[in-house]
Amino acid sequence: MTRHWLSAALLSCVLAVSPGAVAEAQTLVLKGGSVYASPDAMPISDAVIVTSAGVIAAVGREGEVQIPPDARVIDCSGKTIVAGFWNSHVHFTEAVWKDAGSVPAAPLAEHMQAMLTRWGFTTVWDLGSDGRDTLALRRRVNSGEVPGPDIYTAGSIFPRDGHPAYLPAEMKLPTASTPEEAAQWARTFNDVGLDGVKLFTGSFKGTGKPVVNMDPAIAKAAVDVAHAAGKPVFAHPQNMAGVDAVIAAGVDIMAHSAPGEPAYSPERLARFKQQGIALVPTLSLFAKLPVAPEIAARLVETTVNQLKAFSDNGSPVLFGTDVGFTNQYDTTLEYELMRRALSERQVLASLTTNPASYFKAAKKGRVEKEFDADLVVLDGDPIADVRNLAKVAYTIRAGRVIYQRP
């Protein structure tokens, strides 16, 4: 990821394909299921949802809502309908996404289904990929050529000498050793139309090697540029020094908890709440690391404890899996681990209302009239069993079916 791809040609392409646009949808009706309008609402039984032009036109019980004669009607009897899911930590870095602007659409659509739409995701945050590929992919998704979610993407900045052990040594990364360099990278990301910044406030160099942390002054320089443009900043903290840099620099979202580290201190929890910092816990990532089972169990225990303290403190939790970096596409384990710290309704909120509110997507996150027709049809009630969140029958973005279980 070097400056050569941040070109004027790319800029002209980006400005034409901002997230949110999608090909025009037909009138679609979901009939007969139970609907949770929001995570804290009681279900509406025998419901009818009418979508038109990508927006929810009506929601109510059967007999209360008129079904247009030309609509496509999906029978949802015995199923549960919720708002479309957000995955706030993904990567489009796998080989299939290479040259996404020119390769045939079929393999892109097939992998998009396996990775995201099969699991109910209608909006995602990409936290570090080759912008040429991600932005081209977004254009093809928004045109309707590749069924997929609404894609937002952030540019990454690493500390000097902070090349992570899990990335190829020959890969050139955007690094900053001064505040001026960090600010320039953030301005460059803004110029080409990226939607945010990701900072490696802690970079893992390998087992037995010290973590390379980013100086808070360097991180703050990038944060200031992003915030001036109205864009969020994510951070990969790795350890508590990285967490402290998040707080000092005014970062918005921690893209992971800190595996293997102690619980957040009361002082840190107070600062999280005061500054409105959000957390994407990515618990299943640590459960599936190629380490001894007892080490993985310890990493999961510490991250679950951090998540519980963070949530009990009243700070916002956002769902994310780091999928693309990991090939653990199935979301069941993440839900099971999150349930150790959160209620079923809180897990559902991390997928829907929390990110919609945090990222100021005013018309997403709820199943209500005039909201975006981003919907997930589930085989079971997710409030009765959190694992039902992974049992997706249909994924609908802006009134278009982007996944239907065979």
Structural domain boundaries of the chain?
Answer: 28-82+367-404, 88-158+176-201+215-358
Cβ within 8 Å of residue 108, ≥6 positions away? 96, 97, 100, 137, 140, 146
Cβ within 8 Å of residue 254, ≥6 positions away? 234, 235, 237, 243, 246, 277, 278, 279, 280
Neighbours of 399 (CB within 10 A): 24
Assigned CATH topology for domain 88-158+176-201+215-358: TIM Barrel (3.20.20)
pLDDT at residue 4 in the model = 34
Total number of residues shown for the chain: 406
Q: One digit per residue, pLDDT tens: the chain, 406 residues?
A: 333 334 333 433 443 345 666 665 689 999 999 999 999 999 999 999 999 999 999 999 999 999 999 999 999 999 999 999 999 999 999 999 999 999 999 999 999 999 999 999 999 999 999 988 999 999 999 999 999 999 999 999 999 988 877 777 777 888 999 999 999 999 999 999 899 999 999 988 767 678 899 999 999 999 999 999 999 999 999 999 999 999 999 999 999 999 989 899 999 999 999 999 999 999 999 999 889 999 999 999 999 999 999 999 999 999 999 999 999 999 999 999 999 999 999 999 999 999 999 999 999 999 999 999 999 999 999 999 999 999 999 999 999 999 999 9
- Among candidates 38, 47, 36, 56, which has minimal Cα distance to 74? 47
For 28-82+367-404, give the CATH class: mainly beta
Would the CATH topology of 28-82+367-404 be identical to that of 88-158+176-201+215-358?
no
What's the pTM?
A: 0.93
Pairing of strands 375-378, 212-213: unpaired
Neighbours of 138 (CB within 10 A): 27
